[in-house]
Amino acid sequence: MNTAARTVTVIPPSITPMTHLTNTQLYKLRVAAYARVSTDSDEQFTSYEAQIDYYTQYIQRNPEWTFVKVYTDEGISGTNTKRRAGFNEMIEDALAGKIDLIVTKSVSRFARNTVDSLVTIRKLKEKGVQVYFEKENIYTFDGKGELLLTIMSSLAQEESRSISENVTWGQRKRFADGKVNLPYKNFLGYRKGADGFPEVVPEEAVIVRGIYSRFMEGLTSGAIAKELTADGIPTPSGKLRWQSSTVESILKNEKYKGAALLQKCFTVDFLTKKKKINEGEVPQYYVEHSHEPIVSPEEFDKVQSEFNRRKQLGRQYSGKSIFATRIVCGDCGSFFGPKVWNSNSKYRRVIWQCNGKFQGEKKCPTPHLDERTIKDGFLAAFNQLLGDKERILDDCRLMQNTLTECEGIDSQIAELEQEIEVVTELTKRCIAENARASLSQTEYNTRYNGLLQRYNTASVNLENLQKTKADRENKADAIGDFIFRVQELDALTEFDEKLWLTTIEKVTVHTDGRMTFRFQCGVEVTL
């Protein structure tokens, strides 16, 4: 048996665990820093500049380090790394072998998203790049580094969640108080007033009123956009080319009538900042008389009614003329449309004829009309109506009162709204009970589906009633406008476009050439 004493010789590590470099290698670490502030305020800007200056000197003072760069992001949230250009550039350089060590103030400066933080750290670790978090004194190559980093990242993420919830609560508190704030840089017609509320910009208000006026004259949103572009009028965002969607958004935005529907959309994920249209998930707040209007509520409502009318017509509405979708064939029911005759000669003229004239097996027998015939017919029909003006106006006022009497509809709407509220609460309880007690899934599905059916039925009925009420109100408004236009007239001597648009519901052309003019008040005159 060998009795010699056992000896153990310790061989010191040749590679420093913190740097992965040999102890004998004369190599300076290439060091970069990352600085970020999450807002554009002056206070944060000072912090931003201070961070850059601090880390530049911090790295340059260390004789074992070579200064690479201070990568920065200004005014960017830390919850997601996708929009952080400085951060992404730094990671690309590090993975490309240009950086050995990244220094940053804290875990929250690096990322407030646990997943993003850990994924990035592991990518860097694989390439031999470590990160040093100064505030927490964490080196990612340290054995305890990843555990500490996971804990600190989670805390930072929860801090971000708390901030987001506080911001959301503050916004909803302002909404509930009726405080209106507009994106003024991209909003035509208003600027922020001295009192903090929207203030009308007169020269821009003229453009807005022109858009509303041209729409009610029969133009489409696309046609108005072309006119604005041709006139060299900049868009709300300062672009030179208008889009029909931009015009439509102006025509449908209730803020132009001095009201505000708040929380039309909301943030669904504080990490991704993803937003969605509010379809009832969170409360909305409708504030009337919140600020000075640019167009009257009556004019705004007329525009919405006209939108609905055109929607019902579908693709048939072109908006190319005030006569579009108002002249109907008495034989087949199709609209009359414009046709150009002799387009390449001096005899060129525009006529109106049935769009279905040559579409069936038999040629539609209704005659074509020229614009002069239509206008003269309107003058004759309108003056005939004025001959019995007082009786017609009395009938109109009676009809208007009947249409505006919505007590029964309002009562049904209130009942359905209450039904929806009750069903919603019952559904929440059903889901919560199932989560707590693990009910029979057959029983649960039966209850849930029954509640869902009740909800859908009530929602459909509510939508139909609201549409009925809106249609009645729009019809009452049209009659009111008719009364206003007619009561001061004794005779019409020339064709008036606005009078045509506001008083005529439709004109039916018969096969013998006669025309029946149906006015908004329901009165018909055949010539």
Distances (CA, A) of 486 to 42, 252, 379, 493: 61, 29, 13, 14
C-alpha 134, offset from chain centre: 42
Percent of the chain at pLDDT > 70 equals 74
Q: Is 248 among the domain residues? A: yes
Q: Is 177 among the domain residues? A: no
User: Sheet harboring 29-37: ordered strands across?
Assistant: 65-74, 29-37, 101-104, 130-133, 138-139
Give the pLDDT mean for 427-435: 77
Does the pLDDT at position 120 exceed 60? yes
Give the pLDDT mean for 297-318: 76
Does the pLDDT at position 22 exceed 50? no
pLDDT on residue 437:
67
pLDDT on residue 33:
92
Percent of the chain at pLDDT > 90 equals 20
Does the pLDDT at position 521 exceed 90? no
Q: Which of helix, strand or coil describes residue 331?
A: coil
pLDDT on residue 516:
95
Tell if the pTM clears 0.75, that is, is over it.
no
pLDDT on residue 274:
56
Q: Is 422 among the domain residues? A: yes
346's tokens:
């001096």
Q: Is residue 279 located within the same domain as residue 388?
A: no
pLDDT on residue 18:
45
The CATH number given to whatever domain includes residue 471 is 1.10.287
Region of poorest pLDDT, from 203-217, 370-384, 487-501 = 487-501
Name, of 5-14, 208-217, 316-325, 402-411, the range with top average pLDDT: 208-217
Q: Out of 315, 335, 363, pick the residue that ends a domain.
A: 315
Given the structure tokens 């539609």, which residue do they identify? 364
Q: Is residue 125 located within the same domain as residue 205?
A: no
Does the pLDDT at position 389 exceed 60? yes
Does the pLDDT at position 319 exceed 80? no
Instruction: State the average pLDDT for the chain.
Output: 78
Q: pLDDT tens, 35-84?
A: 877 644 444 445 677 788 888 999 999 988 999 999 988 755 444 445 67
C-alpha 455, offset from chain centre: 26
C-alpha 371, offset from chain centre: 41
Q: What domain range includes position 303? A: 184-315
pLDDT on residue 83:
62
pLDDT on residue 212:
93
Q: Out of 135, 165, 195, pick the residue that ends a domain.
A: 165
Does the pLDDT at position 360 exceed 80? no
Q: Is 116 among the domain residues? A: yes
User: Sheet harboring 515-519: ordered strands across?
Assistant: 327-329, 504-509, 515-519, 524-526
Distances (CA, A) of 449 to 174, 419, 444, 524: 37, 16, 8, 51
Q: Is residue 217 located within the same domain as residue 310?
A: yes
Q: pLDDT tens, 89-110?
A: 999 999 999 999 999 887 766 7
Q: Measuring CA to CA, which residue among 206, 215, 265, 217 is closest to residue 244? A: 215
Backbone angles phi, psi at 5, to 5 degrees: -65, 135
Q: Is residue 466 located within the same domain as residue 342?
A: yes
pLDDT on residue 169:
42
Give the pLDDT mean for 157-173: 47
Q: pLDDT tens, 275-303?
A: 556 555 555 566 777 788 999 988 888 88
Given the structure tokens 């009162």, which residue do they identify? 401
Instruction: Grade residue 9 by pLDDT with cuts at 50, 70 and 90.
Output: low
SS3 content of the chain, % helix, strand, coil (to 5): 50, 15, 35
Q: Is residue 494 located within the same domain as residue 347?
A: yes
Q: Is residue 430 located within the same domain as residue 388?
A: yes
Q: Is residue 376 located within the same domain as residue 458?
A: yes
d(CA 461, CA 88) in angstroms, rounded, equals 52
pLDDT on residue 472:
83
pLDDT on residue 173:
46
Higher pLDDT, 427 or 267: 427
Does the pLDDT at position 25 exceed 80? no
Region of poorest pLDDT, from 213-222, 310-319, 387-396, 477-486 = 310-319
Q: Measuring CA to CA, which residue among 91, 101, 94, 85 is closest to residue 36? A: 85
Instruction: Grade residue 407 by pLDDT with cuts at 50, 70 and 90.
Output: confident
- By CB atoms closer than 10 A (0-12, 13-18, 19+), residue 215 is buried
The CATH number given to whatever domain includes residue 31 is 3.40.50.1390
Does the pLDDT at position 363 exceed 50? yes
Q: Is 173 among the domain residues? A: no
d(CA 120, CA 125) in angstroms, rounded, equals 9
Q: Is 10 among the domain residues? A: no
Q: Is residue 80 located within the same domain as residue 158?
A: yes
Q: Is residue 363 located within the same domain as residue 297?
A: no
Does the pLDDT at position 209 exceed 90? yes
Q: Is residue 348 located within the same domain as residue 306?
A: no
Task: State the total domains in the chain.
Answer: 3
The CATH number given to whatever domain includes residue 190 is 3.90.1750.20
Q: Is residue 296 located within the same domain as residue 331?
A: no
Report whether 423 contacts 454 (CB < 8 A): yes
pLDDT on residue 202:
93
Q: Is 358 among the domain residues? A: yes
Q: Out of 290, 315, 340, pick the residue that ends a domain.
A: 315
Does the pLDDT at position 315 exceed 60? no
Taking residue 204's Cβ as centre, other Cβ atoms within 10 Å add up to 18
Residues in the chain, overall count:
527
Higher pLDDT, 394 or 290: 394
Higher pLDDT, 229 or 324: 229
Q: Is residue 141 located within the same domain as residue 236?
A: no
Q: Is 2 among the domain residues? A: no
